[in-house]
């Protein structure tokens, strides 16, 4: 995809994703961090993502983000951040209504 997405985590824009690649429900791209305290917290959560804890309680242990497309503001993919390695980020796109209601209630 030839888009740039801003990454919103807990109401804060913490960075941007470019060169986004999508394979079914999985997204990955180049991570461009913004220099904020919230970005540091976000990155630490994703770097230390605990898959075992996530398996036991996915809602409590997920890192939920909303992507905002700069050129197409109507496109707002809801995702879970799963990995951050150097300047690459991996996400799981949430599409199903019941999953959206579970992870992003009141959206």
Digit-by-digit pLDDT tens for the chain (107 residues) are: 567 899 999 999 999 999 989 999 999 999 999 999 999 999 999 999 998 999 999 999 999 999 998 788 888 999 999 999 989 999 999 999 999 999 999 88
Q: What is the pLDDT of residue 2?
A: 64
Q: What is the pLDDT of residue 1?
A: 54
Q: Where are the domains of the chain?
A: 5-103
Long-range contacts of 82-85 (CB under 8 A, 24+ apart): 82/46, 82/49, 83/46, 83/49, 84/31, 84/43, 84/46, 84/47
Q: What is the pTM (predicted TM-score) of this model? A: 0.90
């Amino acid at each position: 995809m030839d888009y740039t997405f801003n990454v919103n985590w807990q109401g804060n824009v913490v960075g941007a994703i470019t060169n986004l690649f999508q394979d079914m429900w999985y997204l990955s791209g180049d991570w461009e961090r913004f220099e904020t305290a919230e970005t540091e917290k976000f990155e630490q959560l994703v770097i230390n993502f605990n898959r075992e804890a996530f398996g036991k309680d996915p809602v409590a242990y997920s890192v939920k983000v909303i992507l905002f497309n700069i050129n197409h503001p109507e496109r707002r993919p809801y995702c879970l951040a799963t990995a951050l390695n150097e300047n690459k980020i991996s996400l799981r796109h949430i599409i199903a209504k019941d999953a959206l209601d579970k992870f992003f209630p009141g959206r």
